[in-house]
C-alpha cells in the first residue's frame, strides 16, 4: 500500500518532519500518490527504500497533472521502480508543476536509461540547490512531449552512472551547477562547469557536505534561494 494518497480537491497541504520508508505499491507512487489538482508542500521528509511493483511510475512520489508540488529539504535514498523500461521516476514522476529545492538524492536506482530519478513527463520544474550523487542511471529525464521550462540551478551532479540530465523535450536551463555530462540540447549553461573538484566531506559514508576546498563553494547564485539548506544550515552567509 501507499503511505499516503492525496486526491480530488485537496489543497494547501503540508507534510513534514518524518521518514517514509519501505513502501512497495502496485500502483503509481510507491510512498505518496498526489492527484489532487491543488498545492502540496513536502518538507523535511526522508524517502528511503520505496518502490513500485509492476508497470507503474514514481517509486517514491507520483505527481499528477494540474497539481503543484514543492519539495523542500528532503532526502531520497535507495528508491527504485519496477524492473522495466516502462516504469519511470524512481524518486519522483511528475505531470504537474514541480519545485525541488535543498534536496539530496543518493544511492537511488532508475533501473535503465530514460527512466530517471526525476522523470518530467509534463509541466514546468524548478530544481534548486540540490545534490545528486552515487545514483544508478540519469538523475533527471525530460520527456519528448509535454514538458515546458525546466530550470536546474545551483545543483551538484557527481558519480551518477548515467548522464546527469537527459533532455528529449522542453526547454532545459542548467545554471550555476557542477555536472559531469548531459545529452540533448541544453538551452543555457550559464555559470555551470565540469571543471575542478567537488570535494565532499565523506562521500563513501554519505556525507555530501562540502569541504572548504570545494570548487562549488560560493559558486552559485544567491538570488531566489531558500534561507536554509537540507541540513538546516543557513544557506547565504555574508551575501554569498
- Model confidence pLDDT, tens digit, residues 166-187: 999 999 999 999 999 999 999 9
Torsion sign (Cα): 57, 62, 66, 71: negative
Q: Residues 106, 208: contact at Cβ < 8 Å?
A: yes
How far is it, in rounded angstroms, from Cα 50 to Cα 105? 13
In order of 18, 67, 152, the CA distances from 105 in angstroms are 17, 22, 14
Cell of 36: 489532487
Lowest mean pLDDT among 62-71, 72-81, 153-162, 216-225: 216-225
pLDDT digits (tens, 9 = 90+) for 102-153: 999 999 998 777 789 999 999 999 999 999 999 998 999 999 888 999 999 9
Is 192 within 8 Å of 175 (Cβ atoms)?
yes
Nearest-5° Cα angle at 113, 200 to 156 = 20
Which among 109, 96, 110 has a CA at the least distance from the CA of 42? 96
Interval 149-158 mean pLDDT: 98
- Are 111 and 84 a contacting pair, CB within 8 Å? yes
The count of other CB atoms within 10 Å of the CB of residue 201 is 12
Write down the mean pLDDT value for the chain.
92
Coil, strand or helix: which one is 122?
coil
What digits encode the pLDDT tens for the residues 27-41?
A: 999 999 999 999 999
Closest CA to 18 of 61, 73, 58, 57: 73
Of 137 and 68, the structure prediction assigns the larger pLDDT to 68
For residue 163, give the nearest of 141, 134, 193 by alpha carbon: 141
- Which spans in 54-181 are helix H? none
Is the pLDDT score of 56 beyond 70? yes
CB 198 within 8 A of CB 156: yes
Residue among 10, 11, 72, 80 nearest 42 (CA): 72
* Cβ(182)–Cβ(168) below 8 Å: no
d(CA 236, CA 224): 11
Amino acid at each position: 500500500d501507499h503511505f499516503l494518497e492525496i486526491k480530488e480537491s485537496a489543497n494547501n497541504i503540508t507534510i513534514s518532519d518524518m521518514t517514509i520508508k519501505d513502501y512497495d505499491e502496485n500502483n503509481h507512487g510507491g510512498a505518496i500518490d498526489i492527484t489532487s489538482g491543488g498545492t502540496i508542500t513536502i518538507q523535511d521528509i526522508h524517502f528511503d527504500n520505496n518502490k513500485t511493483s509492476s508497470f507503474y511510475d514514481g517509486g517514491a512520489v507520483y505527481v499528477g497533472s494540474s497539481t503543484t508540488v514543492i519539495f523542500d529539504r528532503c532526502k531520497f535514498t535507495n528508491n527504485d521502480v519496477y524492473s522495466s523500461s516502462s516504469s519511470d521516476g524512481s524518486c519522483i514522476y511528475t505531470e504537474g508543476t514541480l519545485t525541488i529545492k535543498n534536496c539530496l538524492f543518493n544511492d537511488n536506482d532508475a533501473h535503465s536509461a530514460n527512466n530517471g530519478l526525476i522523470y518530467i513527463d509534463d509541466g514546468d520544474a524548478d530544481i534548486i540547490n540540490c545534490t545528486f550523487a552515487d545514483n544508478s542511471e540519469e538523475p533527471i529525464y525530460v520527456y519528448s512531449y509535454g514538458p515546458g521550462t525546466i530550470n536546474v540551478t545551483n545543483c551538484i551532479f557527481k558519480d551518477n552512472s548515467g548522464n546527469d540530465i537527459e533532455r528529449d523535450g522542453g526547454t532545459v536551463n542548467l545554471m550555476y551547477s557542477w555536472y559531469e555530462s548531459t545529452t540533448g540540447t541544453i538551452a543555457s549553461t550559464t555559470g555551470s562547469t565540469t571543471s575542478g573538484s567537488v570535494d565532499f566531506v565523506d562521500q563513501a559514508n554519505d556525507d555530501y557536505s562540502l569541504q572548504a576546498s570545494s570548487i562549488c563553494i560560493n559558486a552559485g547564485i544567491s538570488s531566489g534561494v531558500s534561507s536554509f539548506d537540507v541540513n538546516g544550515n543557513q544557506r547565504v552567509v555574508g551575501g554569498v
